[in-house]
Amino acid sequence: MKKSTAPARLRVGLSLTVNVLLGVPAVVPAFLLWYFASNWPLAELGWTDGEPTENDGVLPWVMLATPVLILFGLVWWLANWPLRRRTPLTRGTYWLLSAAATALPTLLLIVISVGRS
């Protein structure tokens, strides 16, 4: 008899759904990373123009972004850790798909904002 792949597909689909839903609040850490990068290291390299009204320096942003990034990373890892063991995917494939699914809402917002400008 042929073994059914429906439960395996269901588990992979559940993992992708969970990661897309986690991607909605992930917009905040993604914005914080972009704001930090575009105003300091990339602006110093001349690749972006820093925000002209940003005169507080880098420390407040590091103090704000670090707990947000750590908290989101911890929630993301804790949500994915049990799901990873239940899927038939290899470790690398699972984590790559999970990261891509989490980035999907942010990428969608970027595409929408670029399309409007």
Determine, yes or no, domain membership for 20: no
Which pLDDT band holds residue 8 (cuts at 50, 70, 90)?
confident
Determine, yes or no, domain membership for 56: yes
Structure tokens at 53: 């009204």
pLDDT at 1: 46
For residue range 23-33, list pLDDT tens digits in order.
999 999 999 99
Higher local confidence (pLDDT), 1 or 86: 86
For residue range 17-58, list pLDDT tens digits in order.
999 999 999 999 999 999 888 888 988 899 998 888 888 888
Give the number of domains in the chain.
1
Determine, yes or no, domain membership for 12: no
pLDDT at 117: 67
Q: What range defines the domain where residue 40 resides? A: 29-85+96-109
Determine, yes or no, domain membership for 7: no
Determine, yes or no, domain membership for 2: no
- Record the pTM: 0.83
